[in-house]
Amino acid sequence: MTHTTSQSDSSWLAGEELDAARQRLPILYVDALPVRVDGQGVVTAVGLLLRVTGEGTITRALVSGRVLYHERVRSALLRHLEKDLGPLALPKVPLAPQPFTVAEYFPTPGVTPFHDPRQHAVSLAYVVPVEGDCAPQQDALELTWFTPEEARDQRLLAEMTGGQGALLRMGLAHVGV
């Protein structure tokens, strides 16, 4: 049996339904660190989004979002990369993606390095090469490319919230930079 998912079916929870689910269940997310690589596959640049949080704070962030009911992880990665980086980003997501880590976000600070006051979330984290033109979309104000050295700078990492700075460092270590 084949099932196609559309925005009008039950894979999208209404606001109050999502709030209720967040109080009772861990929610599955994907986090993606967009990178540029040279001909030998060495990371030459790391893309970080500039966003405004619900509290009005401007932060740096990875591409991130929920995996929908009946959605493959690869499809969720592609959807969020296109949503945040634009349709011409040309991400190179493997056919069978393997995360570099699993990040557990808790509403209680200090349980893990990852914190989300809204919910308990489990995120599969990926480093994803992008080859096309990136233009911030949706709620992303800007996309800035940093060298791997710049991306490890403590001042830049301090601009990231919820533990995403730790996730950035882990992703860079995973690809050997």
Contact 29, 123 (CB under 8 A): yes
pLDDT of residue 2 exceeding 70: no
Residues with Cβ within 8 Å of 167's Cβ and at least 6 positions away in sequence, in order, are 31, 33, 62, 101, 103, 114, 125
- Rounded to the nearest 5°, which phi and psi values hold at 23? -80, -15
Measured distance CA(41)–CA(46) in Å, rounded: 13
pTM, two decimals, is 0.86
- H-helix or E-strand spanning residue 129: strand 121-129
63-66 and 121-129 as β-strands: parallel, antiparallel, unpaired?
Answer: unpaired
pLDDT digits (tens, 9 = 90+) for 11-34: 667 888 877 877 888 899 999 999
Which two three-digit tokens encode residue 40? 């030998």
Q: Which CATH architecture has domain 30-174?
A: Alpha-Beta Complex (3.90)
Convert the pLDDT of each residue in 112-151 to its tens digit: 999 999 999 999 999 999 999 999 887 789 999 999 999 9
All structural domains of the chain with their residue ranges: 30-174
38 pLDDT higher than 80: yes
* Residues 177, 170: Cα–Cα separation, whole Å: 10
- What's the confidence (pLDDT) of residue 10? 55
